[in-house]
């Protein structure tokens, strides 16, 4: 055996990996050197996957990875590899799926997998305690037993590995023998399924723990059926009134531990807040309810205040813990609130946020959620109280912030911020989104290749399907808010990259990893939405829209082939395929494309009047813009003209705004 390994995480960019750089465990990053060592020494790999805002990741680290005795066992038996699931979603997808196949249980984080030297897992779990409890073995003892099994049961492990690889391969859909004709059946079926799972009392779907599922809510908001739209509105209302929303500082936590949206798991993730910001903008546009406007305003303010770097990129997340306790930064003692506020403010806050009832967090603290609505004349007093409580909270020890910049998550926030900017006509939100996109183009796009992650000026790791697809969708939204020629050029480059480096040219659809990506035990190609929308769904949706906008058949064909590949899935099991269903909807009824051309001082009026409806794309191209593709290069004039197309049908240009909004 070679010399004892050293912990090599000190050179990584991930804050999560850097948190473990001082562990006595000889952690290695996932790279060829680590994998080659396992193969050369025929040693099993202990793979630990987590992320910096993960509460139970911290617990397992404190209990086991910081313990010298446990670390000695791990170092003696395994090549120990630590992975940030946010930087390596390819590995996380593969090994979460493998965990589910091996254990018949859902996964999560921390994910703890034991691999053969070739990377095939043979045993796994999630959190394991240092000492036996919760019906789980102590971690050091588990390591000894797993290593013994690897030594003595190699034939069984090899046979299982063959079965596992075949099972993973079966998750990739096969193309149908004949292309089916699309219809709206899956759209209606998805509405019915969501209605059956809807919690009519609290909003949302299913029971605790309860997640926002923004893609499903976006699908419901676009339905013509009032009952479906009401499910989305009710859910967004209850979320906005609940403790999953930070009533004092803005922004949403990742999920609620109860079915009422009252007590969250306190981590805040960028990827949730971008789509939710867009949804609250749309619900305000539909209802004019000030609750939705307030939530959008405060969420955008939180993002720009706490989550945007000076160079423009958006940070990834805020931790659930501070001072070693989950939620400590966010919860209150009643005496503290009373000391900070006037008697009138304190009485109002207690009634409005439920501080006059029993403590709702761990039976000793209060977490704010709306339990009683205010009259209009009480709103200024609440604003005064919020300001004081926010200022006091800012003096607390803050939760840790994962300050790496992820391309896919930035794209989701750029799209949400740009869309909200269009709806509310907030230029500062648009500027925020444009700054982030400029960072993407300047830092993450290098020699015609997109990169996945950056921190402290260092960008690396080849980008995945989601990075390209989400960024393309964000550019389409940005261009509708304010057309910039560089954004269009970048969109075309990304679309071409999707076709060249990710498309399955034989079967259709897109692989999660590029054709020249590192060879792993499996190459995922999924159409199912998870915490973020499916890359295949967003890629098809964005390519379809760009194809209509530019009249580019390659993009339209790639989107159609993706729908054909996943058609059996969405036809027979539409649940969880919201992003592909939105693509299907626009394949059946193409969006209205409106090109505006005219003087810059007048074209904005038309753009504002047309709004940000989901069924249309609007590009406002002021006179003077040159170098446009043929479909966009409309003639200039001294008044505004509009060209309107839907699918392959275009109408004569009009100079009458009322023709478009009537």
Average pLDDT over residues 30-38: 97
Residues 33 and 147 in one domain: yes
Q: What is the CATH number of the domain that holds 98?
A: 3.40.30.10
Mean pLDDT score across all residues of the chain: 96
Among 112, 137, 169, residue at a domain's last position? 169
Q: Which of 584, 644, 653 is nearest to 183 (CA)?
A: 584
The reply to whether the predicted model has a pTM over 0.95 is yes
Q: What is the CATH number of the domain that holds 302?
A: 1.50.10.10
Q: Which residues contact 651 (CB under 8 A, 6 or more apart)?
A: 643, 644, 645
CB atoms within 10 A of CB 72: 13
Query: Where does the pLDDT of residue 2 fall: very low under 50, low under 70, confident under 90, or very high at 90 and above?
Result: low
Residues 137 and 50 in one domain: yes
Residues 202 and 246 in one domain: yes
Cβ pair 24, 73 in contact under 8 A:
no
Residues 467 and 583 in one domain: yes
Among 560, 588, 616, residue at a domain's last position? 588
> Strands, E, within 99-251: which ranges?
111-115, 121-125
310 in a structural domain: yes
192 in a structural domain: yes
174 in a structural domain: no
pLDDT above 60 for 64: yes
pLDDT above 80 for 417: yes
Spatial distance between the Cα atoms of 608 and 593, rounded to a whole number of angstroms: 15
Residues 111 and 190 in one domain: no
Burial of 90 (0-12, 13-18, 19+ CB in 10 A): buried
pLDDT above 80 for 1: no
Task: Kindly state the helix (H) or strand (E) to which residue 58 belongs, with its residue range.
Answer: helix 55-60
Residues 547 and 531 in one domain: yes
4 in a structural domain: no
Burial of 182 (0-12, 13-18, 19+ CB in 10 A): middle
pLDDT above 70 for 312: yes
Residues 346 and 375 in one domain: yes
Residues 577 and 452 in one domain: yes
pLDDT above 70 for 407: yes
* Residue 641 domain boundaries: 592-661
Residues 34 and 69 in one domain: yes
Among 116, 145, 169, residue at a domain's last position? 169
Identify the pLDDT of residue 662: 66
Q: Which residues contact 225 (CB under 8 A, 6 or more apart)?
A: 191
Identify the pLDDT of residue 231: 97
Residues 433 and 559 in one domain: yes
pLDDT above 80 for 151: yes
Task: Kindly state the helix (H) or strand (E) to which residue 407 belongs, with its residue range.
Answer: helix 407-424
Residues 220 and 237 in one domain: yes
Residue written as token pair 């013509």: 224
Spatial distance between the Cα atoms of 370 and 54, rounded to a whole number of angstroms: 27
C-alpha distances out from residue 604 to 89, 285, 363, 421, 596, Å? 41, 19, 54, 14, 9
- Counting the structural domains of the chain, the total is 4
Per-residue DSSP letter, 9:
G
Q: Which residues are paired to 125 by β-bridges?
A: 112
* Span 264-284, pLDDT tens digits: 999 999 999 999 999 999 999
CB atoms within 10 A of CB 297: 19
Average pLDDT over residues 57-79: 97
């Amino acid at each position: 055996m070679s010399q004892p390994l050293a912990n090599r995480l000190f050179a990584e960019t991930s804050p999560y990996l850097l948190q473990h750089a001082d562990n006595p465990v000889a952690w290695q990053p996932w790279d060829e050197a680590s994998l080659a060592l396992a193969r050369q020494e025929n040693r099993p790999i202990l793979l630990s996957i987590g992320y910096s805002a993960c509460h139970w990741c911290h617990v397992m680290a404190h209990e086991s990875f910081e313990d010298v005795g446990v670390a000695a066992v791990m170092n003696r038996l395994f090549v120990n590899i630590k992975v940030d699931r946010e930087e390596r979603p390819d590995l996380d997808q593969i090994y979460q799926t493998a965990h589910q196949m091996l254990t018949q249980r859902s996964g999560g984080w921390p994910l703890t997998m034991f691999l053969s030297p070739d990377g095939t897992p043979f045993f796994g779990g999630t959190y394991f305690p240092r000492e036996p409890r919760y019906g789980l073995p102590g971690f050091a003892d588990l390591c000894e037993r797993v290593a013994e099994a690897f030594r003595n049961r190699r034939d069984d492990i090899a046979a299982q590995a063959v079965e596992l690889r075949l099972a993973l391969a079966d998750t990739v859909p096969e193309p149908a023998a004949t292309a089916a004709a699309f219809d709206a059946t899956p759209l209606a079926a998805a509405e019915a399924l969501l209605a059956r799972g809807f919690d009519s009392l609290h909003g949302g779907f299913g029971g605790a723990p309860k997640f926002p599922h923004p893609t499903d809510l976006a699908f419901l908001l676009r339905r013509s059926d009032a009952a479906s739209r009401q499910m989305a509105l009710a859910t967004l209302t209850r979320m906005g009134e609940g403790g999953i929303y930070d009533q004092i500082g803005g922004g949403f936590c990742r999920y609620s531990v109860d079915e009422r949206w009252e007590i969250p798991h306190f981590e805040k993730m960028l990827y949730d807040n971008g789509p939710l910001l867009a949804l609250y903008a749309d619900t305000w546009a539909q209802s004019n309810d000030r609750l939705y406007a307030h939530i959008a305003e405060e969420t955008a303010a939180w993002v720009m205040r706490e989550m945007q770097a000076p160079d423009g990129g958006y940070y990834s997340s805020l931790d659930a813990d501070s001072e070693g306790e989950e939620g400590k930064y966010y919860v209150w003692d009643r005496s503290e609130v009373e000391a900070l506020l006037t008697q009138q403010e304190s009485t109002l806050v207690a009634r409005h946020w439920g501080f006059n009832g029993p403590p709702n967090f761990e039976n000793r603290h209060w977490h704010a959620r709306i339990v009683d609505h205010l009259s209009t004349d009480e709103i200024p007093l609440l604003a005064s109280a919020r300001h004081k409580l926010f200022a006091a909270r800012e003096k607390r020890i803050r939760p840790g912030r994962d300050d790496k910049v992820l391309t896919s998550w930035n794209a989701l926030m750029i799209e949400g911020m740009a869309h909200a900017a269009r709806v509310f006509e907030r230029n500062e939100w648009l500027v925020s989104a444009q700054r982030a996109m400029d960072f993407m183009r300047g830092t993450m796009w290098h020699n015609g290749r997109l990169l996945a992650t950056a921190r402290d000026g260092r960008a690396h790791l080849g980008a995945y399907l989601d990075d390209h697809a989400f960024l393309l969708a964000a550019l389409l939204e940005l261009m509708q808010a304010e057309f910039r020629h560089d954004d269009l050029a970048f969109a075309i480059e990304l679309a071409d990259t999707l076709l060249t480096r990710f498309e399955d040219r034989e079967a259709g659809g897109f692989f999660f990893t590029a054709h020249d990506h590192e060879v792993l035990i499996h190459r995922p190609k999924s159409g199912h939405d998870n915490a973020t929308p499916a890359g295949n769904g967003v890629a098809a949706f964005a390519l379809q829209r760009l194809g209509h906008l530019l009249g580019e058949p390659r993009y339209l064909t790639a989107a159609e082939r993706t729908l054909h590949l996943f058609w059996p899935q969405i036809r027979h099991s539409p649940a969880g395929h919201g992003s592909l269903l939105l693509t299907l909807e626009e394949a059946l009824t193409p969006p209205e494309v409106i090109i505006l051309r005219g003087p810059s001082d007048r074209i904005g009026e038309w753009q504002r009047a047309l709004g940000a409806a989901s069924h249309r794309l609007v590009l406002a191209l002021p006179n003077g813009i040159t170098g446009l593709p043929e479909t966009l290069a409309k003639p200039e004039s001294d008044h505004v003209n509009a060209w309107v197309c839907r699918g392959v049908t275009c109408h004569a240009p009009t100079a009458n705004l009322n023709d478009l909004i009537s």
